[in-house]
Every structure is written in C-alpha cells, then in structure tokens.
Structure 1
Amino acid sequence: MTQSEVRNEPTTNEKLDDLEELGRKQSESSPPCSESDPMDRGRRAWATAFGCFLVQFCGYGYINSFGVYQDFYTRIYLTNQAPSTISWIGALTSFLAANTTLISGLLYDRGWFYQLMIVGSSLQSLSLFMLSFAKPGQFYFVFMIQGVLSGIGMGLMYGPSMAVISQHFSKRRTLVMSFVASGTPLGAIVHPMMLNHLFHGTVGFTGGVRVSAGFVSALLLIACLSMRTRALTTSKPTASYSVVARKCSREVPFILMTAGITLCQIGFFYPVFYLQLDSIKHGVDVHFSFYSLVILNAAAVIGRCTAGIIASYTGLLNLTIASTFACGALIISMIALSQMSGVIVIAVTYGYVSGVFVSMSVPLVTMLTPNLSELGVRMGFCFGFTAFGSALSGPVSGALLSSQYRWLIPSLFCGIICFVASLIFVVMRLIIYRQR
C-alpha cells in the first residue's frame, strides 16, 4: 500500500480497514501474539485502554485544571506577578507535555514504552510533592517545579499512552482513542473541585497540593500496572527521524493538519485558563465560579466520548472543521459574559465542542500515517509543533487581557485564530479529496 493510497481514502471506516490490513502485514514479520490477546478485544487490550485513560486523567486532565492555580496565584499566592506572567507556568507545562513527544515518540517506536511510563509518572509525582514546599511569592520555584518538571513527566507519558492503543485496536481504534481521551476532561472535573475545596478550606495550599499529589501518584501506579504492549514495533529498528521528517515534509495534508492544530491551540486554552477568573471579575458568585471549569470539563467528557461515534458518520475531517469553527464562535461569545446563566451556557457548549476537537487530533495523525511503525515519531513531530500554540495561548491571552482586565481583545483574538485554523482544515480536506 502506497502513501498516496492511504491519504486518498474517502471514508474513515475504509481508512481504518486499510490500517488494520497494514497492521496484519507488519505482524507477519513479528513474533506471533497469543490467542488470549487478539486485536480489538481481550482483557489485556481493555486493561491497557483503562491504564491509558488514567494517564490522560492525571496528565492533561491536571494541566486543564490550571485555571484553579491561575486564579489562586493571581489573587492570593503570587500577587507580585502579572496574570500573563503567571500563565507562563501553565503554558510551559502544556508546551513541554506536547513537545517532549519528540523524544518519547521515538523511544516508544524502539520499544521503551514501560521505561517511559515509569520515569514519566515518577517525575510527575515528584513535581507535585515538591510544589507543596513553595512559599508565597516564590514564582521561579513554582515555575521550575510545576512548569518544567511536571511538563516533562507528562510529556514522556502522553504520546506513548495514545500510540499504544493502535497495537491493541484496529476497527475500534477511533472509538477507543475517544474513550482514552475522555480521561483529560474527566480529570479536569475532579482536580479543580478537589483543589478549590482544599486551597480555600482548612487544608490550605501546602496540604492541598500534597493530597492531590498522593491521589495522582496512586492512579499513575495503577496505570503502570495495567498497560501492556504487543510485539508489533519492537522486533526491528524503526526509521530514523531524518527519514520520517523527509516523508512528512512532502505531505501537504500532514503539514496543513499540523498548522491547523497549532493555530487552534493558540486560542483553545483561553477559556480553560481564564473562565473562572472572568466570571469572578464580572461579579458572578465566587463559589459558583469555582465550578465553571467543572461544568466545562463535564461537557468535554461527553464531547470526547461521543466524538468517535459522530466521526463514523461525518468523517474525521468534517467533524474537525465543524468543532474548530464552533470553538472560535464560542470564544468570541465570551465578550458578553456577565451573568451566571452566561457562564453555564459557555461552559457547557465550549466544553462539548472543545472535547470533540481534541479527540480528533490523534486519529487524524493515525489516519495520515501509512506505516504504523512510524506512528510514535509522527506524533512527536505533530505535537512538537502544536506545543508552540499551547505555549503561546495563555501568555498571549494574558498580555492582551492586561492588568486592566480588557476582556474584549483576547476574546476576539483567540476566536479569530480558531476561525483561521478551521479554514486550514477546509483546505486540507479539499486537497485530500482532489488527490482521490
């Protein structure tokens, strides 16, 4: 099967069938898998999916709860820093979590899955326990521990925990990836509720972070014990970065997909970082505002769980275009946020469409990967570039917001950026179908 034949398939289901055939061809030269561990079913396959779900719950699920830290640092703990400066902590965490896949993707393709999971989970647990020793005003200590150390730990786990799904599932791959990806918004429901109650209760920041660290460490231990690999990518050396890079540089759809995701990421995190602070500054009840991120991420769980089902009817590209455009429209609508009802509407609708959009990223990379032995490296290239969008999102929004809290400018900027990303996906779709 040639690379152009894979890109020119008209439907998602036919694409996944071709990927399944490719996986069977690869397995012919690999050690045979036992009958107790077949594709698309089996205890090991679903246990691995559950472990990957927990990794997303504790990884990007924790990153998406940074709005709680942003609000707490801005108003209480790091009052000597501007909101845009504080947002660099969450932005760097997100950037490193995605950009580290450049390393973890290659190591995954070479059979280092278990080592990546162990080291990554250890770094994340260590960073949270060390964060509990931070004192008010110690910005650089928080920046290095929460921004750098935690980001690297999450990055070592993120890419491999998504790529390993392709070893166990073929026909159900998109559906299972959507289930695994739903761990992120579910984590972003549980973590903000826990952190808000702990920070503003009798426990305080130090005790609250330690409780959170213990909770995350326990779940990551369960995840490491649950996940298993199949002997599909470890039997012989994989292609080098230079070989895969040359392939990707000649694939216009892959380049457009990466550019579209990167641009959308610039605006994507604006509601995640600033919705809670926005609602508080507009006079919405403080206790209710603590639950704004919970509502947003609860809707995102539904969006991620249903994305795979919807994509089987609409196609990955069509659903990506629609969700990206809807994200831009809802971000612009945050200009009118002033009441509790507005917070609820924006949190529910944006949470759902953003959950759908995020669920499409990994299946899109898989769809444009003709050789699954290169999936880890290709994910590293894609997410390595999109990480720059994540890194710019919070600081750029914070700089546009300024200390005067001018909500109009960042809302317009982030919304328009998402519209541009949607247009790029439209061009990508036209090219793919014209090649057919």
Structure 2
Amino acid sequence: MAQAEFRNELATNEKLDVLEELGRKQSSDPPTLCSESDPSDGGRLAWATAFGSFLNQFCGLGYVASFGVYQDFYTRIYLTNESPSTISWIGALGAFLIPSCTLISGLLYDRGWFYHLMIVGSLLQSLSLFALSFAKPGQFYMIFMVQGVFSGIGMGLTYGPSMVVISRHFSKRRTLVMSLVASGTPLGAIIHPIMLNHLLNGAVGFARGVRASAGFVSALLLIACLSMRTRALSTPTASYSAVVRKCFREVPFILMTAGTLLSQIGFYFPVFYLQLDSIKHGINVDFSFYSLVIMNAACIVGRCTAGIIQAYTGLLNLLIAAAAACGVIIISMIALADISSVVVIGVAYGYFSGVYIAVLVPLVTMLTPDLSELGARVGLCFAFTAFGSMLSGPISGALLSSQYRWWIPSLFNGIICLVGSLVFVAMRLIIHRQR
C-alpha cells in the first residue's frame, strides 16, 4: 500500500514537472496569433476573399496613389488659381482618411460588421467619384469635399477590414497572401493613371473621363463585395478600451506607430510630385505621364516579393531596410534631370516603397497576441500614422513653393524617412531584448 502511494506521488510530481517545463517554454516564446481557432491556409472561400481584398486595394489606395495625375491636371489646367500646396490637400486628405478611418472600421470589424462596412464604403466611394464629374473649373471646395472627404471616408471604411480579413482565412501563409493582396494598390496605381491621363488630357475631357473612371471602379467594387467572406472567431471580441490600454503599455507598438508616422510624411512625396517634377524639368510630357506607371510597376514587384523575402530576413529587418532605402532614394530626386533619372528613381523607389507598405499590416499582426483585437490594433496604429499621410503633400508643396525648388522637399522628405527607419531600429532592439 505504501509502495502504491509512493508510485502515485512520484507520478504526480513528474506530471507537475512536465507542466512547469511547458509553462516556462510558453512564457519564453514570443506571443503568437495562432490558437486552436487557427484558419487553414487556403480553400475556395479563402482565395475568393483574397481576390476581393485585392480588388478593394486596387480601387482604394490604388486610386489615391494615382492622385499625381489629378495634381498635375489641377495645377496646370483645372484649378490654376490655387497653389500646388493647396491642391495637394485634396489627395493628402484622402491619404489621411483611409488609414485614420480604420480607427472606426477596425472596431466595427471586430464587432462583426464586416459586410456592412464593405457595402457602405463601396457605395460612398462610387457615388463620390460620380459626383466629382460634375465639378467645374475653379470649384476647389466642391472637388475638395467630394474627392478628398467623401471618397476618402468611403475608401477608409473598406481599407482596414479588407486587409485584416485575410488573417481569418490564412495562418502560415498570412504574410505572403497579405503582400499579394497589397499588390493591388500599385497595380491600380498603374491602370488608373494611364486611364486618367488619356481621359482627362484627351478629347474625352474631365466630366466624361471621371464618369468612365467611376464606372470602372464601381464595377470592380461590386465584384469585391460579392467575393469576400469572413469567419467567426471562437474567442470573444476584445474590449476596445482594454486594447487601447494594452497598446499604450507596449513600447514596441508605440515605436512602430511613431516610426510609421515619420516615414509616411516622406512617403507620398514621389507619389504626388514625380510626374510634375518630370514635366517641370522639361522632359517629354507623354513620357512624364508614364512616370507613375513605371514607379508603380516596380511597386507591384516589391509587394509581391516582400512576403518571400521576409521568410529569410524577418519582418523587422526587411522593414528597416526598405524604409532606409526609400529615404535615400527620395534625397536622390535632387538629381532628377532627364528620362534615365526618372526611370531609375521610379523603379528604385517603386520597389522599396512596395516592400515597405507590404510588411506594415503583417507587422501589426505579428505584434498582436489575439485575433479578436487585430482590427482595433490596426485602427489605432493607422489612425496615428494617417497624420503623416495628410501632412506629406501640403508640406512638400509649401517647401516646393511657386519657384519649384525641388531640392528642398526632396531633402526634407528623405531625411524624415531615414529618421523613421532609425525608430524601427530602436523597436527591433527592444523586441530582441524582451525575447
């Protein structure tokens, strides 16, 4: 009897030792998003959702990234009474509202409002583009409200949920699929500028050209809404206030947000001003129209390859390298003088900016321990970094001035991107120490 009790006690102690060892391993491992509810990597609905998300990026940020065409057209033809800095507020506000609206759409997404957000946001974006076609020359405030405010809100309601929903369909291949979905933005920034340049600057004119563009976007948004599906989580929805308190106590999350904010200030300078820069340097107008196309073609390659490269370098190392490269290339825009320099700058910046953008959402996902709070965390991060997007165009326009002194905004935006990359370095060091 005593021997039996001794064996039972010994077995119990061994079990406790095993549990303690498992506990130590779990506490020492970095937090992961995956739990018993991890999604499988693939399936018809998963890839249909990825395709719909791709189309949403094509029509959302892909259209905003084409604002350089509108910037050039408004500056030279349609809003000649306004300065380039004033005109850039139209695109800057859209670039601000898209990520900042994720503060609301992320919360609603976590609460199960995915389909409502996609439908309402798509309708608002479509109607605002059709309304833009009725604007007349010199009507700055109407264009500002329709193209800047309403279209930006519509895109913002769909942007975050269309990216975050990928995390509910993929786990191991999540970063790869997110980078492929993100490539919809530069592809849109290729197709839309070609279409808009031929429509606005051709025989079609502004009104009918914008309506044709709006019809094209509306058809794709309809397909996107019909394609996407979401999955319910087994874990309860996180409290938004609890997520906010948790985020503000996490130094890596704070540094990631600060670094992205700084980088975003410089990020949109080539996007908004490369075409105008090319034209003002006496380069052929027809070729200048394709400067954004060149940049965004390289951006597609960058976004598609980011998911592959990060498997070897890691997300943080890849983010730091891409942000630093963007800063150096922006500074090199001081040397823009001929067709070859436009091609080199467009290809180089397009690639590294594509890599940079492709890894942002996966990085937020990596720093999120629970899927139920992913939408809220993406919203919090992007709401702060949106201010960088909003300030980018106007600051660059003010530094450029009516004398078109290109070296000043190039130097400013390049340096601030480099500062952002240094903040990412600090974040990496802290994460390394915590592990």
TM-score between both structures, scaled by the size of structure 2: 0.93
1:222-371 maps to which residues of 2 (within 5 A)? 222-232=223-233, 236=236, 238-371=237-370
1:114-153 maps to which residues of 2 (within 5 A)? 114-153=115-154
Is residue 401 from structure 1 mapped to residue 400 from structure 2 by the alignment? Answer: yes
Give the equivalent residue in structure 2 for 1:180: 181
Q: 1:234-253 deviations in whole A, cap 9, x for unaligned?
A: x74x2232111110010000
Give the equivalent residue in structure 2 for 1:19: 33
CA separation of 1:334/1:6 partners in 2, compared to 1, >3 Å: closer, same or farther?
farther
Q: Distance in 2 between matches of 1:8 and 1:395?
A: 44
Give the equivalent residue in structure 2 for 1:203: 204
Is residue 94 from structure 1 mapped to residue 69 from structure 2 by the alignment? Answer: no
Report SS of the residue matched to 1:141.
helix
Structure 2 residue runs of 5 or longer lacking an equivalent are: 1-21
One-letter identity of the residue aligned with 1:154: M
**Worse overlay, 239-248 or 191-200:** 239-248
Give the equivalent residue in structure 2 for 1:190: 191
Q: Distance in 2 between matches of 1:7 and 1:334?
A: 46
Query: Post-superposition shift, 1:41?
Result: 1.2
Query: Post-superposition shift, 1:125?
Result: 0.2
Q: Distance in 1 between matches of 2:260 and 2:27?
A: 21
Q: Distance in 2 between matches of 1:219 and 1:239?
A: 33
1:159-170 maps to which residues of 2 (within 5 A)? 159-170=160-171
Q: Distance in 2 between matches of 1:125 and 1:112?
A: 20
Contact 1:198 1:205 in 2 (8 A): yes
Give the equivalent residue in structure 2 for 1:374: 373
One-letter identity of the residue aligned with 1:150: S
Q: Distance in 2 between matches of 1:91 and 1:378?
A: 23
Query: Post-superposition shift, 1:6?
Result: 8.8
Q: Distance in 2 between matches of 1:102 and 1:157?
A: 12
Q: Distance in 2 between matches of 1:435 and 1:59?
A: 37
Q: 1:174-193 deviations in whole A, cap 9, x for unaligned?
A: 00000000000000000000
CA separation of 1:66/1:435 partners in 2, compared to 1, >3 Å: closer, same or farther?
same
Q: Distance in 1 between matches of 2:27 and 2:252?
A: 12
Report SS of the residue matched to 1:269.
helix
1:107-118 maps to which residues of 2 (within 5 A)? 107-118=108-119
Report SS of the residue matched to 2:238.
coil
Give the equivalent residue in structure 2 for 1:33: none
Give the equivalent residue in structure 2 for 1:35: none
Report SS of the residue matched to 1:19.
coil
Q: 1:151-187 deviations in whole A, cap 9, x for unaligned?
A: 0000000000011000000000000000000000000
Q: 1:347-404 deviations in whole A, cap 9, x for unaligned?
A: 0000000000000110010000001100000000000000000000000000000111
Query: Post-superposition shift, 1:231?
Result: 1.6
TM-score between both structures, scaled by the size of structure 1: 0.93
One-letter identity of the residue aligned with 1:143: F
Give the equivalent residue in structure 2 for 1:103: 104
Q: Distance in 2 between matches of 1:175 and 1:5?
A: 26
Give the equivalent residue in structure 2 for 1:42: 43
One-letter identity of the residue aligned with 2:174: R
Structure 1 residue runs of 5 or longer lacking an equivalent are: 10-14, 28-37
> Could you list the runs of 4 or more consecutive aligned residues of structure 1 that deviate by over 4 angstroms after TM superposition?
4-8
Q: Which has the larger radius of gyration?
A: 2
Report SS of the residue matched to 1:41.
coil
Q: Distance in 1 between matches of 2:282 and 2:374?
A: 48
Report SS of the residue matched to 2:137.
coil
Q: CA RMSD in A?
A: 1.6
Query: Post-superposition shift, 1:7?
Result: 9.9
